[in-house]
């Protein structure tokens, strides 16, 4: 799984960084001016990259959650079937419980940044005064920068948790292989 998640997570981080870069480039133009077609084109690109980033982050973290649900169930069933040490299931469940908050935080953060982007859109319907003396665009930028950093850290932690979980799975497979050989069953 770490061979799958590493490129996917890296791709989402690069996509988020590209989105932030295009958003920063937007600061040089005026998307409210219909004559500024360059700024309006960059805005559309930023919008589409933001949506793609959001979908990518949710997809990758959904894959991670699904991985832990599936492999956790597999560990439990194999341990019960072969009467292995129940501590293996406990270790698997502990790793799953550690991973879920990171995956959920990643997904909620990207949704929050996308929502701030919608609020920051000058053509949007939100007319509320932003807090703290900053514009909605500045809040969006600060949240986006923090989110990229936090999600990157979250992916790093999740990658380590997956590697630990793979150790548990290999240990279970080793026990199963030994038991099957002892019983004369195909391995």
Tell me: the pLDDT tens digits for 94-136? 999 999 999 999 999 999 999 999 999 887 777 789 999 999 9
Q: Residue 150 domain-assigned?
A: yes
Q: What is the pLDDT of residue 171?
A: 98
Would you place residue 38 in the very low, low, confident or very high pLDDT band (cuts 50, 70, 90)? confident
Burial (CB < 10 A; 0-12, 13-18, 19+), residue 130, is: middle
Query: Domain tally for the chain?
Result: 1
Q: What is the pLDDT of residues 52-77, one digit of tens each?
A: 999 999 999 999 999 999 999 999 99
Residue 177: how many other CB atoms lie within 10 Å = 12
- Tally the C-alpha atoms within 13 A of residue 90's C-alpha that lie toward its C-beta: 4
Structure tokens at 162: 């997956």
Question: What percentage of residues in the chain have a pLDDT greater than 90?
Answer: 81
Q: Residue 187 domain-assigned?
A: no
From the list 48, 47, 26, the residue with the least C-alpha distance to 38 is 26
Q: Residue 13 domain-assigned?
A: yes
Lowest-confidence region among 77-86, 88-97, 128-137, 144-153: 128-137
Would you place residue 29 in the very low, low, confident or very high pLDDT band (cuts 50, 70, 90)? low
Residue 149: how many other CB atoms lie within 10 Å = 12
Q: Which domain holds residue 21?
A: 2-182
Q: Residue 167 domain-assigned?
A: yes
Q: Residue 117 domain-assigned?
A: yes
Between helix 37-81 and helix 87-120 the angle, nearest 10°, is 170
User: 151, 68 in Cβ contact below 8 A?
Assistant: no
Q: Residue 108 domain-assigned?
A: yes
């Amino acid at each position: 799984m770490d061979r799958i998640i590493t490129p996917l997570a890296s791709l989402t981080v690069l996509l988020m960084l590209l989105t932030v870069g295009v958003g920063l480039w937007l600061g040089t133009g005026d998307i409210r001016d219909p004559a500024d077609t360059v700024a309006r084109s960059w805005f559309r690109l930023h919008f589409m990259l933001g949506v793609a980033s959001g979908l990518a982050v949710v997809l990758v973290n959904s894959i991670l959650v699904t991985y832990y649900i599936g492999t956790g169930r597999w560990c439990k069933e194999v341990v019960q079937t072969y009467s292995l040490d129940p501590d293996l299931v406990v270790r698997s469940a502990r790793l799953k419980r550690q991973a879920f908050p990171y995956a959920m935080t990643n997904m909620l953060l990207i949704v929050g940044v996308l929502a701030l982007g919608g609020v920051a859109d000058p053509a949007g319907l939100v007319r509320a005064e932003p807090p703290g003396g900053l514009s909605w665009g500045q809040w969006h930028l600060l949240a986006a920068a923090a989110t990229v950093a936090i999600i990157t850290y979250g992916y790093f932690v999740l990658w380590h948790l997956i590697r630990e979980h793979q150790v548990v799975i290999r240990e279970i497979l080793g026990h199963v292989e030994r038991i099957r050989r002892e019983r004369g069953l195909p391995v």
